Each structure stands twice: as structure tokens, then as C-alpha cells.
Amino acid sequence: MHWVFIAVILGLVEGATEFVPVSSTGHLIVASDWLGYVGDQADTFVIFIQLGAILAIVWLYRATLVENVRGWNREPGWRFFTNLAIAFLPAAIAGLLFSGAIKTYLFNPLTVAGALIVGGIVILVIERWQPPTRVATVEAIPWRLALGVGLAQVLALFPGVSRSGATILGGYSLGLSRRAATEFSFFLAIPVMCAATVYDLIGSRDVLSLADLPMFAVGFAVSFVSALVVVRRFVTFVSGHTFAWFAWYRILFGLVVLAVYFS
């Protein structure tokens, strides 16, 4: 069954790349193009399976989320949700205004390759700079830094930039520790990606049918399982390593995409 193969491959790509700074959207656009799975339904599928990766974050951090929900009206729960709301708004507003144009003009391998390479160079520059750490944990993030992370996230509307890359490196540049920047990026992904998925599904309801449900379900499940595996290892990795590994990967992958595109 051809659709099963496509759903599994794209689910693996989503789960493996969503929460690391290499651009899951960019990888999915390139993978979909190479698999020949393109069009409005493919674009919606790529966005929908992000929910599987998000469910992995909810599951892995369920204790933290439950604790903050129970204490939403007092510190640190109140600060946690306030920071997420502040960081969520810039990308939400920009996405509502420009999402149509972005999907029409920027969802292609060439723009993704350029963003991958440029983003890799930016990561190397930030790592060479080594900004000093001022905030060690997610609970200690002040609202001004949360806003800064939210503004950095707007850059990720350009395919290939990477939502995780923009928020993690944005937070790291503003003084968050590597772990705090990474975990805040995870938590911020929950409202951002859920909102983006619901918005896209509403806009794409005319191109979907019940016959698409099995493929979407397989992609969702594979994305969930692969994200569970990757996120656990990524948090451990960033605690003792730089992001330079991901920078070099982005540059190499971007060059490969360009070579294939122009061949």
C-alpha cells in the first residue's frame, strides 16, 4: 500500500525533526517532494501529523503540565502560562496574516534549502558568541524574555528556518540556559502547533474526506512514537553539547537539496 509507506516515512521525519533545530517543515517539504506526494492534501497531512509529535511532549512532560494546571492561579503556574501566552501571540498574529502567502510562495525545496544553510550559519555565529546564561530554568523566565522568544518564533514562519531552532537559539541568545531554552521551546510548541493544525484543517476541509483518515492516523502514530524517542535523547544531548552539530547538518543537508534541485 503506497500510502502506508508515505505516511510512515513522513511520520518518522516529523517525529525526528520537530523538536531539534533542523526544520521539520523543511524536511517534510523536501521529503514530500521526493516521494511525489504534493498538493493541498499533502500540505494538510504534513501539518496534521505535528499533533502526534505534540502529544509526545504532553506525555513526556505530563507531570510538569499537570502541576502548573493545578497551580494556574499562583506562582509558578501563573507565570508559566502567562509566558506561554506572551510568546504565542507574535507568531499567531503573523501566521493569521501571512500563512496563505507563505504556503503559496515559500513551500518549495529551493527556499527551504536557502533557509537551512543560512540558519546553520546563524547557529555557528551564536555558538561562537556563547551568550552568558542569566536564567537557568523555565520557571524563572521573565515575561520580557518570553516575548523575545515569541518574536524569534515569527522567523520560523519561513519554511526551513525551524520553529525549534528559532525559539531555542532565540532563548539561548537572550540568556536562557540550553536546557531552559529547549524545554520552553517544547512547551511553546503545544499551543502554537495545535492552533496551526486546527486553523489549517478548517481551511482544508473541502480537500479532505473520510478516506484520508487511515493515512492521517498512521502518520500521527509514527510521529508520536518517533518524537518520544528523539526528545528524550535531545534533552540529554543539549545539556552537555553545543548546537554546532545541528548547524553543520543544516548546511550539509541544504547543499544536498540544492544539488538535487538544480540537477
Strand segments (E) across the chain: none
pLDDT at 102: 83
pLDDT in tens, 11-35: 999 999 999 999 898 889 889 988 9
pLDDT at 146: 97
Neighbours of 229 (CB within 10 A): 12
pLDDT at 1: 55
Q: CA-to-CA distance for 108 and 85, rounded, in angstroms?
A: 31
Residues of the chain with pLDDT under 70: 1
Q: Which domain holds residue 249?
A: 2-262
Q: CA-to-CA distance for 197 and 210, rounded, in angstroms?
A: 17
pLDDT in tens, 193-239: 898 888 888 877 777 777 788 999 999 999 999 999 999 999 889 88
Q: Rounded to two decimals, what is the model's pTM?
A: 0.90
Q: How many domains does the structure of the chain reveal?
A: 1
